[in-house]
Amino acid sequence: MIKRITECCDDKTLSKGIEAGQYIYLSHHSGGYEKEEIGHQMRKTFEGIKDTLSYFNANLSDMLKVNLYLKTKEDFEDAISVFEEYFEEENTPARTTVITDFVDEGCLCQIDGVAYKENVAG
């Protein structure tokens, strides 16, 4: 069975998240544009990811892979320090980090990824 969150960024061409079997695929998440500070935007982004995962009865410890997109490489160390607030060392996902530009000028970071839920059916 496939389950989708269809409302995302006023863009009808993508889903915020899709659950397919035991996998959850997350579209880009971002937030906190009211402050041009990477720590703030990373925390808002993670809170959005947590909300999306909870819709599928999952949480951050279910994340297998994340892609972190940053506007500038100067923000890398500060962005990574926020990961430590949200992931315990034994539950860190695989990660790729890319430096890129964004459609929204106020955006400093975006995260997408894949989560996996253990089969809890008996």
Do 117 and 58 touch, CB atoms closer than 8 A? yes
Q: How far apart are CA 56 and CA 80, in angstroms?
A: 26
**Residue 14: CB partners within 8 Å, gap ≥ 6?**
8, 27
pLDDT at residue 4, as a whole number: 73
Exposed, middle or buried, 108 (CB in 10 Å: 0-12/13-18/19+)? buried
pLDDT at residue 89, as a whole number: 87
pLDDT at residue 122, as a whole number: 43
pLDDT at residue 53, as a whole number: 96
Question: pTM for the whole thing?
Answer: 0.90
Low-confidence ranges of the chain (pLDDT < 70): 6-13, 120-122
Q: What is the dihedral of CA 18, 98, 50, 35, to 10 degrees?
A: -130
